Amino acid sequence: MSIPLPLMLGAGVDDFAQVLSEGVELLRGLHRRRTAVQEARNAVAEWSARYPAAQAQLVVDVRPGSPVVDYDLLVNHPRGGTVAVSVPVDDGVPWLIDHSTHWAAGYLLSVDRVHVPVAEALAMTRTLARRDQTVHDEIIDQCLVHNEVLTDHEPVGDEELAEAAEEIRRAWRLHDRAATLAWLAEMGMSGPQFEAFIAGAARRRRFRRRKEAELAPAYLDTHRPDFDLVRAFWATGAQPVNGELLRGLGGLLGYGEAQVTLGERRARDLPGPLRDAPEETMIGPVRHGDGYLTGMVVERRPAGDDAATMAEAGAAAFADWLAARRRAASIEWHWL
């Protein structure tokens, strides 16, 4: 995009007319893909800084379900008031009129400073991985992390970019160059825009990792028993299982349905009745869920400060931190 040549803005109407002329040309040159919004903001900010009296501001509207955006330019008039400049390039209808029903017509929700377009929210669902949360909460969590990196200008390293790119390729099943190029064409992204998209994902990954590392030690100290490594076995079913018969498993032959689990888990991931159970003590049958549980802890090893335990503690602490931020955030669903 081209930025108009500098103009010495005074208080006269003639100068203001030239500012409007430059503003129109600037708007016409902005890329209208959603992924180019930050580039557009930077271009307008650079142009506006040359003419402080005009106090020009860019207004961005994201079309519902579309990667295309619309722009307005707000400019102070030398005799008072503000002039809005629109340059519709397709059907000639300014977006302010086309979407006059509500300022958030193209958005699904707003979380603090982040406004999420419908199309972006749909794209988010491809990377949602947690099964202990609603889709609503997980989208909000991603927005909360986005809020945290809005002012992050630290350069992103090559390794961080590679990890973020691999995560996105896995999520979208972009297993080769052809699939990646087809996806870029579908999303309307150029090569530089894709690089900016990857950089944003890398910043969010970096924030999460740093926050997890920061929170992990204190969280582990407070919840250490939850991270004990426990080897146990248990049976669940609609009918109570005799614990003594369970030792040999043959006792289950007389039961209609039962599920037996033998393995090693963190204490926090065990069924509730076994989390604090002592070793070699048969528990149950006790009510559990919609049926019964019978089981025994074979071995319990106290949690240490090793890297794997710290990583799990950091992930749990980060989930708690996000939950607290979610409760304190300003959240507005525009479709409800």
* pLDDT tens digit sequence for 53-62: 888 888 887 6
Sheet with 291-301, strands from edge to edge, namely 259-266, 229-237, 291-301, 282-288
| Average pLDDT score over the chain | 81
Q: Is the pLDDT of residue 3 over 50?
A: no
- Cβ-contact 241, 284 below 8 angstroms: yes
Q: Is the pLDDT of residue 22 over 50?
A: yes
Token pair in block for residue 62: 């994201």
Q: Which of 300, 281, 286, 307 is nearest to 229 (CA)?
A: 300
CA-angle at 90, arms to 85 and 92, nearest 5°: 55
Q: Is the pLDDT of residue 335 over 80?
A: no
pLDDT value for 13: 52
pLDDT value for 243: 72
Q: Is the pLDDT of residue 6 over 50?
A: no
- Cβ-contact 286, 292 below 8 angstroms: yes
- Provide the pLDDT confidence category of residue 132 given band limits of 50, 70 and 90: low
- Across 104-108, 184-188, 214-218, least confident range: 104-108
Burial of 72 (0-12, 13-18, 19+ CB in 10 A): middle
Q: Is the pLDDT of residue 232 over 60?
A: yes
- Cβ-contact 66, 82 below 8 angstroms: no
Q: Is the pLDDT of residue 165 over 50?
A: yes
- Cβ-contact 58, 31 below 8 angstroms: no
- Cβ-contact 106, 62 below 8 angstroms: yes
- Across 66-75, 172-181, 228-237, 306-315, least confident range: 66-75
Token pair in block for residue 146: 């986005």
pLDDT per residue as tens digits for the range 254-270: 666 778 888 999 999 99
pLDDT value for 271: 95
- Cβ-contact 296, 283 below 8 angstroms: yes
Higher pLDDT, 18 or 7: 18
Q: Is the pLDDT of residue 28 over 70?
A: yes
Token pair in block for residue 255: 């039961």
Q: Is the pLDDT of residue 103 over 80?
A: no
- CA dihedral angle for residue 168, residue 105, residue 150, residue 169, rounded to 10 degrees: 0
pTM: 0.63
What average pLDDT score do residues 204-224 get?
Answer: 96
pLDDT value for 108: 76
Q: Please, which residues have CB within 8 angstroms of residue 214's CB and are 6 or more apart in sequence? A: none
pLDDT value for 311: 96
Q: Is the pLDDT of residue 130 over 60?
A: no
pLDDT value for 10: 45
pLDDT value for 2: 46
Q: Which of 93, 94, 118, 92 is nearest to 105 (CA)?
A: 118
- Provide the pLDDT confidence category of residue 205 given band limits of 50, 70 and 90: very high
